[in-house]
Copies of this chain bind each other. A is one copy, B any other.
Amino acid sequence: MSSTEVRLSRLLILAQKFNNFYLTGFHKGDIRPFLVEGQQVGLIKSDVLKQLVKYPEVFCIRDCEQTKQGLVELNPAFRDYNERTEQVEKVLRNLRSEGLFPALQGWRDEYFEVKSEHRPLLKMERAATPLFGVRKYGVDINGYVRHPTQGLCIWLQQRSNTKETWPGKWDNMVGGGLSVGFGIKETAIKEAAEEASIPSDLVKNLVSAGCVSFFFESRQGLFPNTEYVFDLELPLDFVPHNADGEVQAFELLPAKECVERVFTPDFKTTSAPVVIDFLIRHGHITADDVVDFTQIVELLHVPLQSLYIYKTRLEQLQKQHQQLPNDDGNCNSGSSTIKPLENGHKKAA
């Protein structure tokens, strides 16, 4: 069906849009792992690199002897969490005052904890994390209603015009970043109260439903995001209202209209994966309707983890040096089959 074709290409193009860095960004210029304590915690583009070289006492910029790869390393001489945090913050405040990076104009005095394998390494101003390509984790709640006549309907929020990021855009009913010291479901419940005034007797029906991962790039920087998704069925008569001033409106949309809204420029690009995942899980986008269904599902779960494994690769290379020649052979044939992975997806026309 040509109508299906149209539907397909719109969904696929959107999935490619919120994965623009995963699909094509790597091919543009010199992208360097960012290491703290020998662990890769980020990816740094050349525009940021150009500024970091001015702070050699904080950032060591070098090539790795084993991987031959260019690296940015936080000075290993820093003793602990607090010293790393202070040293990075000093640089960030400088960069902010120089006004070079749009991201830093959104400075909000809110910390994001940079971890490796669940070990906290430092905390960083939330607005700065896109400059370092630090993996971000958030929660989103799909608030929905089973309407007697209109079927599945979804609550969307319109972000306040005063928000630093995506002002005025349509978004999921509830969403927020994970903050230091809060659990995942705990964060969802907190955000549900702050953003949509959802009372405890309703929020108790919250259902954990998995996560989506994508890698988006914008003027602000890099967004290797994982969103933990929750579904919340709401009674017909419940109307969310905002408590923290971050939302200007809520609207209940039938599933079909919700899909259309997601395609408009008025919808927050990085929230689209959560809605698409919800509509797929609830049978409103199906493999029979959308020819590239499996490709779209792939792009809702991109293997971010495999882009943050400098240390693993280093350990593998070191092992290989100790191993038999035919193991090196294996490794070569391995990497030759690895190469395609980034190229697998057709680009948006």
How many chain A residues touch the partner (CB < 8 A)?
Answer: 63
**A85 within 8 Å of B (CB atoms):** no
Select which of B228, B277, B295, B338 is within 8 A of A342 by beta carbon.
B338
Q: Which chain B residues lie closer than 8 Å to A297 at the CB level?
A: 210-211, 213, 301
A31 to B200, CA, bound (A): 55
**A56 within 8 Å of B (CB atoms):** no
A29 to B332, CA, bound (A): 9
Interface stretch, picked from A124-132, A154-162, A257-265, A305-313, is A305-313
* CB proximity of A324 to chain B, nearest CB, Å: 13
* CB proximity of A139 to chain B, nearest CB, Å: 9
**A180 within 8 Å of B (CB atoms):** no
A330 touches B210 (CB 8 A): no
B302 touches A303 (CB 8 A): yes
Given A183-B288, A331-B27, residue A283 in contact with residue B208 (CB < 8 A): yes
**A118 within 8 Å of B (CB atoms):** yes
Q: Which chain B residues lie closer than 8 Å to A226 at the CB level?
A: 294
A280 to B210, CA, bound (A): 6
Chain B residue nearest to A295 in the complex (CB): B305
A26 to B309, CA, bound (A): 18
**A28 within 8 Å of B (CB atoms):** yes
* Residues of A304-349 whose CB lies within 8 A of B: 304-310, 312-313, 316, 330-331, 333-346
Q: Which chain B residues lie closer than 8 Å to A334 at the CB level?
A: 26-28, 342
Q: Which chain B residues lie closer than 8 Å to A294 at the CB level?
A: 211, 213, 226, 304-305
* Identical subunits present: 2
A338 touches B341 (CB 8 A): yes
B305 touches A345 (CB 8 A): yes
**A100 within 8 Å of B (CB atoms):** no
A333 touches B26 (CB 8 A): yes
Contact with B along A211-226 (1 / 0, CB 8 A): 1010000000000001
**A97 within 8 Å of B (CB atoms):** no
**A1 within 8 Å of B (CB atoms):** no
Select which of B303, B312, B340 is within 8 A of A307 by beta carbon.
B340
Query: What are 14 pairs between A and B in contact, CB < 8 Å?
Result: A27-B333, A31-B333, A31-B337, A207-B283, A297-B301, A303-B344, A305-B345, A306-B340, A306-B342, A306-B344, A306-B345, A307-B341, A337-B342, A338-B338
Other CB < 8 Å A-B pairs besides A31-B333, A313-B340, A316-B343, 11 of them? A26-B333, A30-B333, A69-B336, A184-B286, A209-B282, A211-B287, A211-B294, A305-B345, A309-B340, A310-B340, A335-B339
Residues on A lying within 8 angstroms of B by beta carbon are: 26-31, 69, 118, 183-185, 207-211, 213, 226, 228, 277, 280-283, 286-288, 291, 293-295, 297-298, 300-310, 312-313, 316, 330-331, 333-346
